[in-house]
Chain A
Amino acid sequence: MLTDLFAFTIVGIVTGSIYAVAASGLVVTYTTSGVFNFAHGAVGMIMAFLYWQVRFDWGWSTPVSLIFVLLVVAPLFGVLMERALAKNARGGSFVSAMVVTIGMLLLLMGLALNVWPPEGRRVDGFFSPHGFDVGPVFVTWHQAITVLVAAGVAIGLRLLMFRTRTGITMRAVVDNRGLTALTGGRPGRMSLLSWALGSMLAGLAGILLAPVLQLNVEALTLLVVNAYAAAVVGRLRSVPLTFVGAMVLGLLESYAVGYLPSTGSFANIRLAIPTIMLFVVLLALPEVRLRTRSAVEMRMPAMPSPRTSLLGGAALILVATAIATTVAESTLTDLAPALALGLIALSLVPLTGWAGQISLCQMTFAGVGAFAVVQFAADGSPVGLIVAPALAAAVGVLVAMPALRLSGLYLALGTLAFAVLMDRVVFTRRDVFGDFGVERVERLQVAGVSFDGVRAYFVLLAVVFAAVGIGLQALRRGRFGRQLSAMRDSPAALTMLGQDLKTTKMAAFALSSAIAGLGGALLAGLNTTATSSDFTMFQSLPLVLIAVLGGVTAVSGALLGGLVLAGLPVLADNISFLESLTLLGPGIIGLILARRPDGIALVLSDLWSGRGSFAAATAEDEELPEHCEQLGIEVDFEPRHAEVLDRALQVEGV
């Protein structure tokens, strides 16, 4: 009994050590550069695969492999990421930095799946299988090394941060970036360094974790959620508290595996522990601690008049009808998901675009909608069109309640964690999407009219999209729309105007999740199946990317986004050299967004109205003119001014 406890404790400490290494990397990068790296786990994942490649596939020796991966590739990679982000990090909105790192995450996952297609790859622990006995428990060398490494990282970071000028400068940047520049420190270099360091620590965690989890792209990528849960204990700032959080998380997981039944309701509970811990910590932290910088600073499109709005909807339906009646059925099957996904992307427009609230769990809401159809309208009954949005809205409100106190980054991570919780624990249950995660669904039948054929269903999708779009634009013109904008621009002002911020936020979430739920229901109908793998957290991420790419503030942007998302796999299927597009596409979009955070819809409308903003929107050049680096006046200024300045001028050659 006691031996078990001891054994589980050791496993917990080992796991906690890995989380601590990963989380401290996340904290160092976030505090110094101000950008939360959603791809942190993915970096660890790719480094673990690379380590497998050189160590086990090519047979390099362990030290050489470690040096190559951790001291050469990982820091270089971190530096590259920082460069890709540099234009955004400073002064950019949180969303634009977020989509870039999310794009990076997807890109890395796509890359890994491309280069290392899933198959059994073994990463052995260090000195595996050797170890030693600690009392009744056998401890492997790998476990012992893991704990030592974590301790080393803790001590190393402490020394770096408090004993070296570089470390002190990094802390100075955290305190006050602008002032650091005024005192001659180079904040840009500190960011670079923090990304290199963060990337190394992610890689280290990935390599330590690989023998435990084996090389699984998704599982290793999700390390970011665990790391985040640990880091939030230290409010994303404190490394020591982050270590505490990591240990608590490791132990909780280990005890859960040890003491909770491994079948039935608790089967997947271990996967939910980081999320649960995250929610508990977020709810326990005082609200003021959770402020982040303004979430959305994207431009709003001009408010369309009711006439334009109606005309736009009518045009969509006409065009869709024309397409539906002319093109081949197979083409239509390829094209139809664009409308369904577009509808789900549309759910982000009022929530993120207008109200400035970030959600990384829209596909989860869509999944809830699909679940409602499976339960209540699998026979194609129109009841599904009501139950799906209603149930999704209810879940949306449930999410919004704890999320009321959160904004910006914390909201993004809270919703991300919720998505993970749902797709790991709820959607995998047999009573949700069946034994194999796939349930059959009939297409809609209303009052004797059947939408069974893909042509009819295509038109139905267009009608629903148009109706929702017109409805949303009408809402935006009204009181509720103004409340949403006020929430985005100045939550404080909204409260002062006597509006209840909480009600508005809940309403925004309810509206958004209802639309997503409807989209999920229609997507299930289109596919004639509801599939759990369509509604995972990893499906929500590209959705956010394409919504932002299309232009998350505009209804038309959602449609464009849907087209892109549905178009990628089609292109990949038909054009052989674009085969990897489905995997890499979203990541590439993220990189494009680093340059064009406003989204395509606004760019197009600018071009249309002759404002041609392509050039105007590129970020201002931050490099300084070369001559200023050796400004003449750095010469000795001890004596009285005149001759010194003369000399200064001569240095300049004036």
Chain B
Amino acid sequence: MTAPALRLRGVCAAYDRIEVLRGVDLDVPAGSVVALLGPNGAGKSTTLAVVSGQMRPTSGSVEMAGCDVVGASPDALARAGVCMVPEGRGIFPNLTVTENIKLLSHFGVKTGHALDVAFEHFPRLKERRKVLAGRLSGGEQQMLALARALATDPALILLDELSMGLAPTIVEHLYEQVTALARTGVSILLVEQFASVVLDIADHVAVMSHGRVQAEGRPEDVAATLSTAYLGDAS
């Protein structure tokens, strides 16, 4: 058995003293796509913050490929191959599209290569390359954010609500790229609030609420339990 790309065990985390994660257990097997679903405030983004090194867990373990990474800084993790696209838009609004992509050379990829990859997957970005990223439409901004995942050969990709505020056709287009990425063998952890967009591409689904993973399994199995997780939250 190889170690999973990502393994969380009993992860707890808190903002100030308010505990938000209460023992999260989650595996992302190497090379698979795992979707983490759950209602508002379930702790999904917090989980990603912990994994990407932005937040330190109060207890529990985070392992990547068997290596304990608790305490690693976000930039060290990023250079080690963890690509996190945070909630909202993972772009720099006051840099141009090209400058946003140029930053990727921190990962050791050549700027030219990064530009090629980005423009090949998203020709739209090429037309807009001199525009400040803040002026792009929401969909274009997410393309730009995804370009980072595409151009830098990461080992583990964390995507937080890629679909937020976007039209369904655009979401579909973005997830096509994610699917293509998944086929290259990279491990992906997707966070979404609503299941429909990701059930098709996920190998495995975990449902989170109240700071814990409440149910997990194959997409078709979990689909049934999803409603209880959401309704349970509402009651």
Contact = CB atoms under 8 A, between A and B. Distances in A.
Given A628-B71, A641-B31, A165 B103 contact: yes
A185 B54 contact: no
B75 A186 contact: yes
Contacts of A59: none
A645 B75 contact: no
Contacts of A186: 75
Given A183-B104, A628-B72, A649 B66 contact: yes
A370 B1 CA distance: 81
Contact of B80 (A183, A185, A634, A646): A634
A631 B80 contact: yes
A641 B95 CA distance: 35
Interface residues of B, number: 53
B5 A641 contact: yes
B94 A175 contact: yes
A306 B10 CA distance: 47
A169, A630, A638, A648, most chain B CB atoms within 10 A: A648
B67 A627 contact: yes
A323 B75 CA distance: 59
A133 interface: no
A4 interface: no
Given A169-B106, A176-B92, A184 B30 contact: no
B173 interface: no
Nearest to B70: A625
Contacts of B52: 182
B3 interface: yes
B99 interface: yes
A649 B54 contact: no
- Label chain B's interface by main secondary structure: loop
Contacts of A172: 92, 95, 103
Contacts of A174: 94
A637 B181 CA distance: 12
B223 to A, nearest CB: 26
Given A175-B94, A631-B67, A642-B2, A182 B76 contact: no
A212 interface: no
Interface in A606-654: 620, 622, 624-625, 627-634, 636-642, 644-646, 648-649, 652, 654
A432 to B, nearest CB: 48
A176 B52 CA distance: 16
A624 to B, nearest CB: 5
Contacts of A654: 3, 66-67
A184 B106 contact: yes
A645 B30 contact: yes
B78 interface: yes
B73 A633 contact: no
A590 interface: no
B73 A181 contact: yes
B69 A631 contact: yes
A485 to B, nearest CB: 18
Contacts of B90: 179, 182
Contacts of A625: 71-72
A629 B71 CA distance: 11
Nearest to B185: A640
A187 B74 CA distance: 10
B84 interface: yes
Interface in B52-99: 52-54, 56, 64-69, 71-82, 84, 86, 90-95, 99
Interface stretch (B36-44, B147-155, B163-171, B193-201): B147-155
Contact of B155 (A178, A184, A633): A633
Interface in B1-43: 2-3, 5, 30-31
A613 to B, nearest CB: 15
A628 B65 contact: no
Given A175-B94, A646-B2, A628 B76 contact: yes
B107 interface: yes
A160 interface: no
B186 interface: yes
Contacts of A180: 75, 92, 103
Contact of A187 (B75, B107, B111): B75
Given A625-B72, A629-B76, A639 B185 contact: yes
Contact of A183 (B54, B67, B148): B148
15 contacts: A169-B106, A171-B92, A175-B92, A175-B95, A178-B86, A181-B78, A183-B78, A627-B67, A633-B67, A637-B155, A645-B30, A645-B65, A649-B2, A652-B65, A654-B3
Given A171-B94, A631-B69, A636-B153, 19 more contacts: A165-B105, A179-B92, A181-B74, A181-B75, A182-B78, A182-B86, A184-B79, A185-B75, A620-B56, A628-B72, A629-B76, A631-B64, A637-B81, A637-B153, A637-B154, A642-B30, A645-B2, A645-B3, A645-B66
Interface of B: 2-3, 5, 30-31, 52-54, 56, 64-69, 71-82, 84, 86, 90-95, 99, 102-107, 111, 148, 152-156, 184-187
